Structure 1
Amino acid sequence: MIKLALGNTYFLIFWFIPAILLLLLLSRAKRASRVELILRFLVVTSLLFALFGPYVEKKLPFSRATLMVDISDSMDDALSEELLERIRAWQKNNLEIDILPFAAKAGELYPITSEIPSFKKLKSQGALLNIGETNIENAFKNSAIHQGMNILFLSDGFETKGNIHSYLQELRNKDIRIFPIFPKQMSKLSKQMHISQLTAPLIAPLNQSVEIRVAISNPSENTESGSLEIKHDNQLVLLSNIELAA
């Protein structure tokens, strides 16, 4: 049996957000930067933690897990490979892994009897899954996902089809435990404008306003602009355009 310390204390500020989604849009480029990868992921994971509870820094004992890997084109190849390398280290500590690649469609669930393949190889093998699109909801509805599974989830959280938000309660009802895989150091990912701190209450009385504090940093050498969205129950409650000097 293996004990995994998943996550990093740096991310604690992001995880206690039970009903609030926050997304900072930084770039208009088609290919996501590493910062955008994290920010997109936070949209999905803030809902995951609302339902499944924050698992950061807990030691979670289990000896087998299913690795769901998003191989769609929105994923950053280098960062995905870096995260897979961490999971390979857990393999060496006797963690048994089954793998389920997905994009617009989910592939076949199969056991890993040796080292986890590279991200590029997984993507090449899953070319028929329509890697130009992403449907996370469809992946979790796969018949291979069953009661009581431990799932290591590697994705940027960006969907072009489906709506995973509508299916989260069903996953909770099935006692499916989901552990998103994050980079250890967000501060090293990019020199672009990014959220450096986020504070929000865990719970609040019904019909009562709450205070949310967001700190945004711009480590680049130029003035950066973007937009900040705050959502509650998937409803937009605040939209603010931001321009931040270097």
Structure 2
Amino acid sequence: MAKIHVVANRKGGVGKSLISLNLGAVCADVAGPRGDGSPSVAVASADPQGTSLWRAARLVDQPFDVLDISGDLENIQLLKKLPYSHIFVDTPGWAEITPEQYEAGEDPLGDDRYGRLLTALLEQANDVIVPILTEPDSFEPTWQTIEWVLKPRGLSYQVVINNWPPAEGQAYVDGTRAFCESHGWPVARTVIRRYRVHTNATRVVTQYNNNRVELQAREDFYRFALEHGLRGASGRLDEIEAGV
């Protein structure tokens, strides 16, 4: 039975596609293929804009299967039955509602087709990864995602600080972490740093070169995978730090 990892945040542009693809690649690297040589991991796109699908189509070599589920509401309940060990799901953002609308009982995910799709996905999720930027305009959407959507469903989730430019200064990370911890949210110790190599749509982190910068960029995802409970990531992390 496949484990379903949903990457979600109401705000667009927080790096959900980047995380879905690269965690899928790390997981595929650690888990290896199935006995018949086919991938044991899949990346699924529920995003109608198809960012992860566009990036996956440009990869020189796809280490995982790619699934387009953005128009397949009827079969979401079958995801766990697919022949994979892990499926990472890239999701779209959704429209904001006001606190008054929420208190009046309106669904924070909306009642359109994609709201129903997100609802169905969360019903299948083993856990949810919530990316947050070190930018104040991502704080409220993250709060709404967790407090209005994930907590009421009793879902296991972890926040990860994503796309942080180190030149910005550690204070931005500390402030973002403090915001998360003030609400009692589990937040990863690993911070995924911003590197230009991540914008190269033809490779995922497992395909990066063994130079200093690309090894550092790769390391972030292995460290986060290890924190997120991906067994076997520690061995590969040791190899990365050794420059293998």
TM-score in terms of structure 2 length: 0.27
Larger strand share, 1 or 2? 1
TM-score in terms of structure 1 length: 0.26
